[in-house]
Amino acid sequence: MQAYQYEKIWVRVPAYHTPAELLLLDRYGERVGIASPDVEFHPLDKRGAKASAERAKVHRQAVRDLDRSAPDIDVAARLIARGEAQLDTVPNEPVGIVSHDPAKRPARIVMPKRASTSEERRREQDERIAVQMDLAQRIVG
């Protein structure tokens, strides 16, 4: 069952007795296998570890088989081909004209500030605290 790669499976259940095992069919009616009840093991029972390892092995093999069946795709080549197939971009018609005369309005720049030292930061913080204390005293009265 762990190696089955499709979404649906048919289970044949006997109508007249309680089954010990169930027949499993694929979507075409072909036999996939027989389902038997799962055996519960004690956590310290080594048979449980063996059963778990066998299930993991079957699952890994099924994933390997699925990987082999998938086609190899060159994603970069497909993206390049799709980009080449696209039509050229045509710019929109301009809505208006904007003109800029640097003689009428001189350029302005913001000069970068050097990083403040710890003393300057402490002084700025003291000034902010003083302003907040002054505001608090005005509110309190």
Structure tokens at 58: 């079957």
Q: What is the pLDDT of residues 92-121, one digit of tens each?
A: 888 888 777 777 776 677 777 776 788 888
pLDDT per position as a tens digit, 6-61? 778 888 888 888 888 899 898 888 888 888 888 899 999 999 999 999 989 988 99
User: Distance between CA atoms of 52 and 57, rounded to whole angstroms?
Assistant: 9
**pTM as predicted:** 0.42
What residues are paired with 10 via a beta bridge? Answer: 25
